[in-house]
Structure 1
């Protein structure tokens, strides 16, 4: 069975007048599998469909291959995230 690729999630933007209720900030980086408890539940709820698409070989229309940009569902402060497949380096690289 093929191993699922690692996914990195990066906070790329904040839109709205307030700060993130969970305390996230632009530039923060997470490992999807290792840091689930650190990422806001509203953001994770929005992230799951995109993560599945990336992990199982799909592509998000209009976005670079291996990436998905999405935002959380907080109407007061919209945090924008980028999920991307982490390519593991091989011995040949």
Structure 2
């Protein structure tokens, strides 16, 4: 059980890191759009709900993607994995 939780936590942390990198890239892209001399440039912004949805979606997606590998890792006896060459 502890291994399963640890693997899911690792997946969640990877998702959070992906959310941070994605948000930073989005902010950079929005800044680049706002530098353009066009009418729609002032519409390019990110509100708090959009930012929160980015983090929640990235953590949920990575945790769901880590469920099956974590479940499979917990079903194998550790002694068998250590003996395998």
TM norm. shorter chain > 0.5: no
Instruction: Please identify the structure whose Cα radius of gyration is greater.
Output: 2
- Which structure has more strand as a fraction of its residues? 1
- Which structure has more helix as a fraction of its residues? 2
> Structure 2 length as normaliser, TM-score?
0.31
> Structure 1 length as normaliser, TM-score?
0.29
